[in-house]
């Protein structure tokens, strides 16, 4: 609770980050590149693998499609 209030006023410093992740692309789809995510606030940032540096925040308007859950046929 206190952390959320402090982040509201001062913002997150993004000190705790995940390891760089690269989403799998379907054949023929555009490659999105690697990203890291802040463990405190959840924001995602582009990650330059060659220079090992964090870039600009990932645009949230990018449509990411997740696989549809499989349903079992009813007997």
The pLDDT tens digits of the residues spanning 23-68 come to 876 666 556 688 999 988 888 999 998 999 998 888 865 555 556 6
What is the three-class DSSP state of 19? coil
| Residue 64 belongs to a domain | no
Measured over all CA atoms, what is the biggest interatomic distance in the chain, rounded to whole angstroms? 56
| Residue 23 belongs to a domain | yes
| Residue 70 belongs to a domain | no
| Residue 49 belongs to a domain | yes
Residue range 68-73: mean pLDDT, rounded = 70
Domain extent at residue 31 = 13-57
| Residue 71 belongs to a domain | no
Domain count, the chain: 1
| Residue 63 belongs to a domain | no
Residue range 2-23: mean pLDDT, rounded = 79
Contact predicate 40/14, CB 8 Å? yes
- Output the pTM of the full model: 0.59
């Amino acid at each position: 609770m206190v952390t959320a209030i402090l982040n509201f006023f001062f913002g997150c410093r993004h000190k705790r980050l995940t390891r760089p992740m690269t989403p799998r692309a379907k054949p023929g789809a555009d490659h999105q590149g690697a990203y890291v995510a802040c463990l405190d606030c959840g924001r995602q940032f582009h990650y330059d693998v060659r220079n090992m540096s964090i870039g600009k925040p990932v645009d949230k308007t990018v449509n990411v499609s997740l696989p549809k859950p499989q349903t079992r046929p009813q007997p």
